[in-house]
Amino acid sequence: MAKTDGTSALALTPAGIARPSREQAEEAVRTLLSWAGDDPSREGLLDTPQRVAKAFEEWFGGYAEDPEEYLKRTFEEVEGYDEMITLRDIRFESHCEHHLAPIIGKAHVAYLPTNKVVGISKLARVVETYARRLQVQEKMTAQIANSIQNVLQPKGVAVVIEAAHQCMTTRGVHKPGVSMVTSTMLGEFRRNPLTRREFLSIIGNPSSHFEG
């Protein structure tokens, strides 16, 4: 929101935190470039602050979206279908909240409907919305499952995420080829080992990794 004098007023983020202006964000990038040891005024870096700010708008666009809104448009004419619905291999790109390094992976989502189902693209939208925020994989896994449970009220929800963390492969211990696997099981997926095993079989993960 702009003031009449041409300066930028601080808007509020969805979390209620004062949001710096675009100009302030770009100046912060220039500061980091200088701190890294380069000259932000040289030709190759002249437009970098603008590009980084634009990239942040894309990478972190999930803060401006409500994932549960995607789940509210449901279908009830499903002829009593109440078997497992699974969407697997949902590729996502996120960033870790500790180093701003990329997290690249895939999510597998399943639920046991009661009297309504949601379009499968909406499940992917929920994953995408949470991924486009600064994340911890464990938290993201639970957020996806809890959103589906809260809105659809199914008999159970299961979410498994497999991802590679660049904060581990490009810095620190420098261990490429390592993936992290997290899961959240709610309702029947937590209570019933057979239901859980069926889901894990569908997505191709050994059930022994998640039993208990």
Which pLDDT tens digit goes with each residue over 45-74? 999 999 999 999 999 999 999 999 999 988
**Contacts for 82 with CB less than 8 Å, ≥ 6 apart:** 112, 113, 114, 155
Q: β-strand 134-135 against 85-96: which pairing, if any?
A: parallel
Tell me if residue 95 is catalytic: no
What pLDDT is stored for residue 169 in this prediction?
80
Q: β-strand 134-135 against 156-165: which pairing, if any?
A: unpaired
Instruction: pLDDT band for 205, please (50, 70, 90 cuts).
Output: low
Residue in 95, 135, 137, 188 annotated catalytic: 137
Instruction: pLDDT band for 96, please (50, 70, 90 cuts).
Output: very high
Instruction: pLDDT band for 6, please (50, 70, 90 cuts).
Output: very low
Tell me if residue 165 is catalytic: yes
Tell me if residue 108 is catalytic: no
Query: Per residue in 148-204, pLDDT tens?
Result: 999 999 999 999 999 999 888 887 778 778 889 999 999 999 999 999 999 999 999
Please check whether residue 143 is in contact with residue 134, taking contact to mean a CB–CB distance below 8 angstroms: no
Residue in 69, 97, 138, 211 annotated catalytic: 97
**From 27-41, 99-113, 170-184, the region with the lowest mean pLDDT:** 170-184
**How far is 145 from 60, CA to CA, in rounded Å?**
20
Query: Per residue in 108-123, pLDDT tens?
Result: 999 999 988 999 999 9
**How far is 178 from 62, CA to CA, in rounded Å?**
26
Could you give the percent of the chain with pLDDT greater than 90?
75
Tell me if residue 174 is catalytic: no
Residue in 99, 149, 153, 162 annotated catalytic: 99
Work out the number of other CB atoms within 10 angstroms of the CB of residue 139.
13
- Gyration radius (Cα) of the chain, Å: 21
Provide the mean pLDDT of the chain: 89
Tell me if residue 50 is catalytic: no
